[in-house]
Amino acid sequence: MSFETNKTRSFSDNTVFLNLLEHGGKKYIRFWYKANPFISSKLKEAPWVKFSKTYKCFVMHHTPQDIERTYALFRGLARVSTQYLYRPKRLKPDKHTPVLAGTQAEPLAKVPVVPVVRLQPLVTAEGTQVSITFRYSKEIYNRLKESQVAHWHTGQQCFVLAPGGPPMLALLEELRGLAQLWLSQELQVKDLVLQRALWEQSYLKGPAYLTCPLDYLEKLFLLNYSPNTIRTYHSLLLRFLNSHAEKGLEGLQTFTEEEINHYHRSMVQTGTWSYSFINQSINAVKFYYQRVLQRHEVQLTQVERPEKPERLPTVLSKEEVAKILKATDNLKHRCMLQLLYASGLRIGEVINLKITDVQSQRNVLLIRGGKGKKDRTTLLSQKLLENLRAYYKEYKPKMWLFEGQYGGQYTVDSIRNVFRACVAKAGVKTKATPHTLRHSFATHLLEQGTDLRYIQSLLGHRNSKTTEIYTHVTMHALDKIVSPLDNL
């Protein structure tokens, strides 16, 4: 019995285990064995095996050829085991997984992804029309040839459409299931029926589907809510309505406060939705019952609004900002990212800039209709101004400071894509968004000794408490404070 134990122990001491290693999206094999100088020397001699300083072990590529060569290397000298190589990988969640009281299914299903058809204003000899552009598709081309509202314009070599809501609604119906319409921001939509149809074209509409009430959108427009708020309220009310689609719109209009609270309480219990999402949903639904239906008894005061977490903004160092700004050779992209940092702009404020908003003689940048519909002026860096002049000579924008590839206003998603690509190319590991450059602008100004009130004005903050959050992330004067541990 003792002999068997010693034999087993001796055998395991001479066993080389091959374990799976994933690094950089590729599969490798790492070697594990009990300390044995003989095995280590054999692995050092193998040209297909390398020692990893990162993982502190010998590794090789995960290929049948290298595995076979490893078997040959130790044949008659040691045992090679692959029992852990093909074991299913145990999945580990990135974050803590909550045990939920229940789930709330998403009531709005999306249609499959389809091509995009772009509508933009076009000045022709016949007057202002709407151009129809798309990445070539035989199906879309044939559908447009049969269209009752669109026709081919020989001079412009594209399909065109008469301006106005009814023709666009008709085109939307003709392309249903084949393509989605996208309107450039130069086309100011005043037709709420068209606006609603454009916003809801991405949802599957079954027999019980409830569209957003038109009087809801009319009320929001009449009270001069911002376009972003109107669209957010529209999507949140639409979600609420279709979560109870079996009740019908008339049944929903008679909902009690407790029934509405139950909907939002379920959202809180799932732990899926953010603080902002749930609170915006409460406000959107409350607006419908109080301001549209005039049911002022619906106060929604009993719903458990989640407490807002007090998180500090992410701030990049000056070195990280410099790396990101240098990561692109495209002059337009560099100017947009420099604007976010040099002037502390929001991403929406960048795309809304017009050529006339760059007031070089006064060294200021005019921001029109910022958050809260407020105008303000902010800094215009001289280095940025030089780049903007070079950009203007090369790209020659017509009205907007930054225009898209097909003309018209640049999009928010395009700036986000540019920023993500630059962060990856620069090798910056900090999780950042374009808004992080705005946070970095404010923090770096504070570290330079700029008064907090001036920073508040440059950022367009209504409340000084919003600006004071940057005092919690600044490194200003912290290097002069000595920890009590250092004095022990």
Q: Which residues are catalytic?
A: 346, 371, 435, 438, 461, 470
Helix 227-243 and helix 214-222, axial crossing angle in degrees, nearest 10: 150
Q: Which of 260, 263, 247 is nearest to 289 (CA)?
A: 260
d(CA 486, CA 488): 6
Q: Which of 464, 475, 433 is nearest to 341 (CA)?
A: 433
Q: Which residue has the tokens 């928010």?
A: 412
Q: Which of 282, 313, 323, 289 is nearest to 422 (CA)?
A: 323
Cβ atoms of residues 14 and 78 within 8 Å: yes
Residue 391: what are its φ and ψ, rounded to 5°? Answer: -65, -40
The alpha-helical segments, DSSP class H, found in 300-381 are 318-325, 331-342, 347-351
Bridge partners of 180? 116
Q: Which of 219, 150, 206, 156 is nearest to 181 (CA)?
A: 150
Strand runs labelled E in 223-319: none
- Hey, is 370 helix, strand or coil? coil
99 CA to centre of own chain: 27
Cβ atoms of residues 78 and 39 within 8 Å: yes
Widest CA span of the chain, in angstroms? 102
If 0-12 CB within 10 Å is exposed, 13-18 middle and 19+ buried, where does residue 365 land?
A: buried
Give the contacts of 58 (CB within 8 A, at least 6 positions apart).
30, 31, 40, 43, 49, 50, 51, 52
Helix 165-174 and helix 192-199, axial crossing angle in degrees, nearest 10: 30
Exposed e or buried b per residue across 383-412, where buried means at least 16 C-beta atoms within 10 angstroms of its C-beta: ebeebbeebeeeeebeebbbbbeebbbbee
- Hey, is 241 helix, strand or coil? helix
